[in-house]
Amino acid sequence: MKIHLHHARVLASILVTMIAMPVVLSAADDLNTIFQMGRTAYHKGDLEQAHELLSMVEARDPRHQETRILLASIRSQLKTGGPSLKKQFDGVKIAKVEFAEVTLQEALEALRVLAKNASNGKVVPNFIVKEQALNAKPLSMKLTDIPLTQAIQYVAEVAGARTTYDRHAVIFTSASGN
């Protein structure tokens, strides 16, 4: 009888451990997923989103070194005054964007003028195209009532580029990572 009771306790202990284990693994996976999302937002220049996500990681694991480093950088950049470049651009709504068979550089120049006009001269974006090969593909699109950030993103997607917002400019690089 004592042996059966002992086995029952061992089995109960194993079951409790097995049930609790997925929760622990799930929490660690969730924390890593949040960190990866925050890091991606940081590298895309979305400092507000990165700060929000990485602060969640910091709250759950205050000793997570990479999180602490990224948050220090974000806090430093956000302290330097005003909203981030992406936040500024998100506040500019462009009534109409229409391109037909233009280069990336021409499309970006048009967005620069449209943004300046839509913001009464307060927002004049800077764009840097790192690879001139991105100018080879002709771009065409029609958009209406769209935030500047989304217009930039659509232009990048059509051109086969990815964007990164830094402090002073939106940088276009090849989406393939080359």
CA dihedral defined by 64, 69, 72, 76, rounded to 10 degrees? -160
Count up the domains in the chain and report the number: 2
Q: Between residues 19 and 119, which one has the greater pLDDT?
A: 119
Q: What is the domain extent for residue 161?
A: 85-174
Bin 82: left if φ > 0, else alpha if -120 < ψ < 50, else beta.
Answer: left
| Residues 75 and 89 both lie in one domain | no
pLDDT at 168: 83
Put simply, whether the predicted model's pTM sits higher than 0.85 gets the answer no
Examine the pLDDT at 27 and tell me if it is beyond 50.
Answer: yes
Same structural domain, 92 and 167? yes
- More reliable by pLDDT, 87 or 18: 87
Among residues 55, 79, 103, the one where a domain terminates is: 79
- For residues 146-152, give the mean pLDDT: 94
Q: What is the mean pLDDT of residues 61-89?
A: 81
Give pLDDT, residue 177.
59
Last residue within a domain, chosen from 61, 79, 97: 79
Q: Is residue 83 within 8 Å of 126, Cβ to Cβ?
A: no
Domain boundary among 54, 79, 104: 79
Q: Name the band, by pLDDT with cuts 50, 70 and 90, for residue 82.
A: low
pLDDT greater than 70 at residue 25: no
